């Protein structure tokens, strides 16, 4: 058992971190916090606008600060952005303050799930499939490095995935500070 105050979902865009996070938070009695949404709300601008205005580095600085703030809480399920693992400090903070679940997804599934989604600045190019392959090559080892548990949702509806993940978490994670 790995006791931690919070639960964090990591994985590439289109892995289902936010969708699964909603269903999972309800089942576990946790507050869902989506890092990208929290950054957007605080900045008063979308991720796409922040990338255009401040570049990726500016967005990543905001993401890092928000993740650090959210991890200070307890009883929070945090859905990270796909690139949150790029920063070594983020990875260390997640390991220190959360039980981390990596949601892997293949590129073909990502392409289907992200069809028509214009809110992903890194995919605002004609070679989306190649970009996703390149991101997977660079980021997959980092997701695995930070993960306490790898949970594949391939072919599962969000409710089914949430139920199965709750069962898996019962064998691996004890919420620090939770009362029995």
CA distance 117 to 126: 13
Which residues are part of a known binding site for ATP? 14-19, 120
Which residues are part of a known binding site for Mg(2+)? 18
CA distance 35 to 37: 5
Structure tokens at 60: 């990543």
Whose tokens are 């997959």? That residue is 140
User: What does the DSSP assignment read for 78-136?
Assistant: EE--TTGGGSHHHHHHHHHHEEEEE----HHHHHHHTTT----GGG-SS-HHHHHHHHH
Which residues are part of a known binding site? 14-19, 36, 60, 82, 120, 139
The DSSP call for residue 172 is: T
Contact of 109 with 21, CB cutoff 8 Å = no
Which residues are part of a known binding site for substrate? 36, 60, 82, 139
């Amino acid at each position: 058992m790995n006791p931690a105050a919070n639960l964090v979902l990591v994985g590439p865009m289109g892995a289902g971190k936010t969708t699964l996070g909603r269903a999972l938070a309800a089942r576990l009695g946790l507050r869902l916090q989506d890092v990208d949404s929290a950054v957007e709300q605080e900045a008063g601008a979308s991720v796409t606008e922040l990338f255009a205005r401040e570049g990726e580095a500016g967005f990543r600085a905001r993401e890092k600060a928000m993740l650090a703030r959210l991890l200070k809480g307890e009883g929070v399920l945090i859905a990270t952005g796909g690139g949150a693992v790029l920063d070594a400090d983020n990875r260390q903070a997640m390991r220190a303050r959360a039980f981390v679940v990596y949601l892997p997804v293949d590129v073909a599934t990502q392409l289907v799930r992200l069809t028509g989604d214009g809110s992903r600045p890194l995919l605002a190019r004609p070679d989306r499939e190649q970009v996703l392959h390149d991101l997977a090559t660079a980021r997959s080892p980092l997701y695995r490095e930070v993960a306490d548990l790898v949970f594949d949702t391939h072919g599962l509806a969000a409710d089914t995935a949430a139920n199965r993940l709750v069962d898996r978490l019962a064998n691996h994670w004890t919420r620090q500070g939770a009362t029995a």
